[in-house]
Structure 1
């Protein structure tokens, strides 16, 4: 672990070892100290609508350190875009991250055991590389967050949200500021439809007839788009990336790639191809030409990374991607491994994030010129507010067959997603397992656009029925699931009770046995999704209650029960089976 504090000459294990700095009140119980070198720079705080505040720091061309400190209170956890599974309150010698345009965002939220926030902040400029440390100061019994921002020609700005009742509410305020400040890429209808991906189903063992067969089945089942993943390109066989860089179709697998793309699109599906434009492998035909521009090895096996700070590299990558879309009639690209550019971070030769903004802006403009309604998929960790202009499909990081990780990662992304549609990692399950296994994967990602990657032609009939049912249900509830007000609860609880609401319809997915709050008198319809291991749901009517119609369906969509009853204030048990659905309509 790197415990160096960049603005000080000695190595500090804890924040209490740093040279003291003058703290002042900032917001609620938060205090702040600002440093540039060994001095306190000019800074001030101004008010924004809805109670938000913005810190302005003039560092006079020097790096800036911002220290935040607040009482521990009843702190339960700390959320940030790169949290992963570390969501609890850690010591200040443990919390460390470096973020940039393509690797997280300089933002965070400390919250208590009731889920209410104690501190919420976000950098107004998400492009530069920022180092952060955070955690409990054991010596001072406080919680601290320190941000180290690089030198800037203009003022540094940091946004703060006052205390809110939940993390989602506070980050929603931050997200709305980003939405107003950063125009996003248009989101076509195809970006908001269920998507079939070839990766987990076939890995690199793909060829035109097989893919086209899946496309026909996918269109019939309810998908609206398809991604041809890794393996379509020349030298695209075997794990590793030693052959990438040419981005030319493998003629043995796709003898007529342009015709293949046309046949897939004739099914009604939009069609994207996978590409990792920054990677360059020594087996590629173009390797000798471009190797001088890729001096550092990638963290993925077999490849080197083209340096996006070189203008000739940016021009080459734009030309390559445009050729692929234009010549073959694709609807867009799945752009992978952009975060590998960070192998060049901190080498003193220019900011990587700034170079990537140039590359991605040029890429989008050039692609939109040849493909109106362009689809561009980005992936965690480069789905933050700074990427809103460069992609419209924001996908969860790889988590094959892990419904919990997919749920957590999609909801984490949604917290600060600006503009683009949040997508799940492609769903994978054991096709020999009971139908509940298939439904579990679909239920885990209901609050995002579902991607699926299983062989559709070998699915058992009940799995096909489940897939049809849940995709149709998702389409019906899309206004609530994608565009509604979402409340997933505390991040350290892993979002086990998620509620989305819009237009008087509430959708609640339940992933652990617990009483589920129900308001039948306050909404016209409630959809309860049972993602637990129990064949029932316990609900607590928290309003005056109502006469309702209850419809219960199993994991494959079969009707199990349909009746009318009175739901009065208090606890009730509903016979919704595991991986099933209950629909409750107010009959008034």
Structure 2
């Protein structure tokens, strides 16, 4: 990731030190105070903490006698001068963090990653230009976590207390009633950043540190970047059937979609069904909807398209035929079988026998002939440790989900090496993102900006991110539909979930135009380096080897011209037609302007100059060819 020199600033030394506290299973509390970014050898009783400075601050805790020990909790405590921060980034999976951008919402509160938020132990605090004042990330195993701001805090009467002038926060692992586990040597590292132009850059650097320590490997398939249509939004799952899927598959192919997802409800009543009974967990086709599910998959394949089949590996409805067989492997909380608000139970991810049962189901699912699976609902899970009598080989639920994701991906690829698999925000973190083909942003129907934040977050650490499925009605103008697509294409792989049979011809033209541009420049979108031009995150660069794509969003009025490219595309997702450019030297180019339908409306030779203005149609696209010998776009 390239840093713009004009946006960099010298580190001001805001961070000084932190305290590390551990609670052991025997009740002892270990404390190591004033740990700075320097090598140190600290002792507390019969324990020693070895601190090594480097790209991250490495921490190793062991007993002097080398014997194993049990840790219940680890707390990182920070005490800093209080500042007027502009924005917070709290630890999260990427689905909820934008709700806490306002610092005041964190004062005196605990924000927890627990009960389905299998997120990243990373926090960032921004100045008035949304540049990093301080970013902190724990490089270690992923577990439940609490983030607590104790100052500014709250009194016993729940009144804000701000008179101390200190900013004190804690990162507590694991959160809730979970315990960390047994160690002979406890190893973690602390990522510390005080110099980054945005939280996106800092999160990317944290992910690089994590991958360096844990050796993460990603399989990147071109098919993972294909525009996708999903069956989830257009109909209640009770109304799902083969005819609707195939009609939409044919229409989707015409506009540039290349993958079809058959979502929840193919096996019977889905989560949105009016029926109070469900057979979730059996995962056999509902023959009233799909008389020949393998035939459905084959018909999609003959269209030249990929297909994914929805499954929720942990979920078991009490009415499912398999319930009696698996009930001894279900999660319990405080002695009672856990049940989600949606009415299903969960197999325990911390139980090796339950995980094996889940893995054994994969060949049956793949036998229907789909190209892969959409794996869902690892986030619909309890927030307490499982108290069931079956075996447990993980001490926290997040640890169990992470192990299941790894094993599921390995088994899937062993059976079908070219298989695709979609996971989701809630469980697609810096560790588990490698166990799948793509991460999808969390559900955001009819909320394109929330979807944007959900997707941009994992884009900092995952090579393939799918938007949550775009949906709209006839109330959307063609111009605004193009704006929605620009935001989608910027954030990740474009996805749709509407009944395409009901879409107007003019909107089909918009869809075909923008998906056509995406497919034409797929190599740049897939392999290009994505980063914001500033902390405002209203201008984004996607830099390929020869082509750069600039996306202007919200109310952006200017951008920095990408250097060293022969072709530059400017997607205008704003209402401004005239855009200021910052360019190091005067440059000649052929400019082709396209409207929201991606129809050419103007072709001119232009001279680009610093602080000059270019005309780009709102909701449209400008293509600049900087090769003097060519006027073709």
TM-score (norm 2): 0.81
Distance 2:584 2:124 in 1: 31
Distance 1:396 1:516 in 2: 28
441-450 or 345-354, larger mean C-alpha shift: 345-354
Assess if the C-alpha contact under 8 Å between 1:517 and 1:540 holds in 2.
Answer: yes
Query: Match for residue 579 of structure 1?
Result: 619
The answer for unaligned runs of 5 or more in structure 2 is: 1-11, 24-28, 33-47, 64-68, 153-161, 174-179, 629-633
Query: Match for residue 196 of structure 1?
Result: 229
C-alpha deviation, 1:355, in angstroms: 2.4
Task: State how 1:42-121 maps to structure 2 within 5 Å.
Answer: 42-48=48-54, 51-58=55-62, 60-62=69-71, 63-73=73-83, 75-80=85-90, 81=92, 82-90=96-104, 91-99=106-114, 103-121=118-136
2:413 maps to 1:368? yes
Query: Match for residue 499 of structure 1?
Result: 541
C-alpha deviation, 1:381, in angstroms: 1.3
Distance 1:557 1:135 in 2: 52
199-208 or 402-411, larger mean C-alpha shift: 199-208
Distance 1:479 1:164 in 2: 31
Give the 3-state SS of the residue equivalent to 1:175 in structure 2. Answer: helix
Distance 2:380 2:461 in 1: 22
Distance 2:222 2:529 in 1: 20
Task: State how 1:310-459 maps to structure 2 within 5 Å.
Answer: 310-325=351-366, 327-345=367-385, 350-417=395-462, 420-447=463-490, 448-459=492-503
2:304 maps to 1:268? yes
Assess if the C-alpha contact under 8 Å between 2:375 and 2:421 holds in 1.
Answer: yes
2:168 maps to 1:144? yes
2:476 maps to 1:462? no
Distance 1:489 1:76 in 2: 18
C-alpha deviation, 1:553, in angstroms: 0.7
2:532 maps to 1:488? yes
Give the 3-state SS of the residue equivalent to 1:443 in structure 2. Answer: helix
Equivalent residue pairs, number: 554
Assess if the C-alpha contact under 8 Å between 2:425 and 2:439 holds in 1.
Answer: yes
Distance 2:82 2:531 in 1: 24
Query: Match for residue 562 of structure 1?
Result: 603
Assess if the C-alpha contact under 8 Å between 1:102 and 1:383 holds in 2.
Answer: no
Structure 2 vs 1, CA of residues 147 and 218 (structure 1 numbering), >3 Å: closer, same or farther? same
Assess if the C-alpha contact under 8 Å between 1:105 and 1:126 holds in 2.
Answer: no
Assess if the C-alpha contact under 8 Å between 1:281 and 1:302 holds in 2.
Answer: yes
C-alpha deviation, 1:246, in angstroms: 0.8
Assess if the C-alpha contact under 8 Å between 2:116 and 2:380 holds in 1.
Answer: no
85-94 or 227-236, larger mean C-alpha shift: 85-94
Task: State how 1:125-274 maps to structure 2 within 5 Å.
Answer: 125-134=140-149, 137=152, 138-149=162-173, 150-153=180-183, 154-166=185-197, 167-180=199-212, 181-204=214-237, 205-236=239-270, 238-239=273-274, 242-243=277-278, 244-274=280-310
Query: Match for residue 13 of structure 1?
Result: none
Distance 1:85 1:156 in 2: 32
Describe the superposition over 1:157-181 as per-residue Cα deviations: whole angstroms up to 9, x where unpaired: 1331332232222222222223332
Distance 2:363 2:117 in 1: 21
Describe the superposition over 1:250-279 as per-residue Cα deviations: whole angstroms up to 9, x where unpaired: 001111111111111121211111111211
Distance 1:304 1:241 in 2: 14
C-alpha deviation, 1:508, in angstroms: 2.0
Which residue of the other structure, out of 574, 584, 587, is the alignment partner of 1:532?
Answer: 574
Assess if the C-alpha contact under 8 Å between 2:441 and 2:466 holds in 1.
Answer: yes
Distance 1:343 1:279 in 2: 16
128-137 or 110-119, larger mean C-alpha shift: 128-137
C-alpha deviation, 1:489, in angstroms: 5.8
Give the 3-state SS of the residue equivalent to 1:364 in structure 2. Answer: helix
C-alpha deviation, 1:95, in angstroms: 4.4
Distance 1:45 1:526 in 2: 47
Describe the superposition over 1:515-563 as per-residue Cα deviations: whole angstroms up to 9, x where unpaired: 31242765433322121234x1321334222122211111111111111
Distance 1:490 1:94 in 2: 29
C-alpha deviation, 1:241, in angstroms: 7.5
Structure 2 vs 1, CA of residues 184 and 361 (structure 1 numbering), >3 Å: closer, same or farther? same
Distance 2:220 2:499 in 1: 28
